[in-house]
Structure 1
Amino acid sequence: MSKNTIQLDDHLYEYLLDVSLREHNALRSLRDETLSLSGSQMQISPDQGQFMAFMVRAIRASNILEIGTYTGYSALVCALAMKNGRLITLDRDPVMTGVAEKYWKLAKVDHLIEHMLGTAMDSLNHLVSTEQNLGSFDMIFIDADKRNYHAYYELCLQLISKDGIILFDNVLWSGDVADPNNEEKETIALRELNQFLHGDDRVNITMIPVGDGITMVQKI
């Protein structure tokens, strides 16, 4: 028994992966290619991906929204776990999305995924403007520009179903959110979001130290 969450050094993290990770070949290949690309630090860790896949199956999600595609690892994780349904992913970078589409096809889930090219704010406002989208998504994953997380959240609350789950990535921000001397704009935005979500009585909340930290909220 422990009163605190265990700290993972490299050796223990490798053990965790060895005894728990079940990674589809397409996911492994995508992760390997992404390591050679610009911004590879934006890709989620494989254990975080497996956690998200577990959540998709646990809540039987069949309508998923993702804000921030990058090279498509998290979208592929969710589509593979979903098997049937619809996943909409938003991003403005056609080059990185091209990488994503290659692996979605390789894994034979491209028919489940719809990509909306453009700014996340424009795409979200478009989705909100269509009545049939309101309250229709089972799960939403927010992993884009940190300064707009709160604005994305308010729009996502209109799109998520009752009891649906919204996940926020990078909420621990390499520990910088806990450093009061760190006044970088992204850090401040995440710190303020964390405080806001803690007090938001429209949702249930939990924060877990997977990857760079995930907050999950469930619409009440």
Structure 2
Amino acid sequence: MEFTTAESFLHEGLLQSFELTKIIVRIFFLTGQNLKQYILKTNVYPREPSPLKELREVTAKHPGNLMSTAPDSGQLMGMLLKLINAKKTIEIGIIAIDPNKETYEIGLPIIQKAGVEHKINFIESQALPVLDKLLQNLSTKYPDNEGSFDFAFVDADKENYLNYHERLLKLVKVGGLIVFDNTLWGGTVAQPEEAVSEDRKESRRSIIEFNKSVSIDQRIEIALAPSGDGLTICRRIR
């Protein structure tokens, strides 16, 4: 591996000391945490719509609250949706752990109070069969789906990210956006595999494979934003 002059200094000089490396990593970690709180307190929470704030607070009390999207990521996606004037969107999320629609029903009263329930078609199913069905134009509510969606968001099983990507590229129109969450996977994508806990390795490998694949995919433009746990924003160009 080749390094720039600055990188060589860090790699061959400072980082020769294991103890100093631990100190540097800890400083970066603490700085990152402080910056995260700064962003939330000064930019996100003051501008957060009241239904989202209420939903975030209710979600925080749920045992599975770690599955929620980071507020700063939500703010970024909200702006993207407005910038492209999105009208028709699709979200692929994890519901296999919640077979009784519990998490959806937690948010349902807030959705109803916000007056947007009529805009949501909640489908409880494995995602791939539903996407295939949409592509076959078998949906009575949304006919002629191919190339009709403005925006897609994926926060589901990492092992299927590439499968979701291929199908969404057909469902989202040219110029539309597909956003994938957790593409930094807690920073483990930049760590050696032996430093990663066993329970994170399989998904880490899938995310790394996904990141490599989309980086060379000529059908899209991409930007990986270090928001939340990493948001990969894909814009379909062909």
Amino acid at match of 1:57: K
Amino acid at match of 2:38: Y
Q: Which runs of 4+ in 1 moved over 4 A?
A: none
Distance in 1, Cα, partners of 2:103 & 2:192: 34
- Are the aligned partners of 1:92 and 1:120 in contact in 2 as well (CA < 8 Å)? no
- Are the aligned partners of 2:94 and 2:157 in contact in 1 as well (CA < 8 Å)? no
SS in 1 for 2:63: coil
CA displacement at 1:137 relative to structure 2: 0.5
The answer for unaligned runs of 5 or more in structure 1 is 1-5, 71-90
Decide whether aligned partners of structure 1 residues 148 and 69 sit closer, same or farther in structure 2, where only a CA change above 3 A counts: closer
* Residue 64 (structure 2) pairs with residue 39 (structure 1): yes
* Residue 151 (structure 2) pairs with residue 139 (structure 1): yes
- Are the aligned partners of 1:167 and 1:215 in contact in 2 as well (CA < 8 Å)? yes
Say which of 201, 209, 213 aligns to 1:192. Answer: 209
> Whose helix fraction is larger, Structure 1's or Structure 2's?
2
SS in 1 for 2:122: strand
Give aligned-pair identity as a percent: 35
Amino acid at match of 2:93: G
CA displacement at 1:93 relative to structure 2: 5.3
Distance in 1, Cα, partners of 2:218 & 2:227: 24
Tell me which residue corresponds to 1:128: 135
Distance in 2, Cα, partners of 1:111 & 1:24: 19
Q: CA RMSD in A?
A: 2.1
SS in 2 for 1:116: coil
* Residue 223 (structure 2) pairs with residue 206 (structure 1): yes
Q: What does the per-residue CA deviation read over 1:102-142, in whole Å, with 9 as the maximum and x for residues that have no partner?
A: 22112111111111111111211111111610000011001
* Residue 189 (structure 2) pairs with residue 164 (structure 1): no
CA displacement at 1:17 relative to structure 2: 2.3
> Whose strand fraction is larger, Structure 1's or Structure 2's?
1
Distance in 2, Cα, partners of 1:177 & 1:206: 16
Distance in 2, Cα, partners of 1:60 & 1:160: 14
Tell me which residue corresponds to 1:118: 125
SS in 1 for 2:69: coil
Higher Cα radius of gyration: 2
Q: How does 1:1-220 map to 2 (within 5 A)?
A: 8-21=31-44, 22-68=47-93, 94-130=101-137, 132-181=144-193, 182=196, 184-220=201-237
CA displacement at 1:11 relative to structure 2: 3.3
SS in 2 for 1:197: helix
Distance in 2, Cα, partners of 1:44 & 1:145: 14
The answer for unaligned runs of 5 or more in structure 2 is 1-27, 138-142
Aligned length: 196
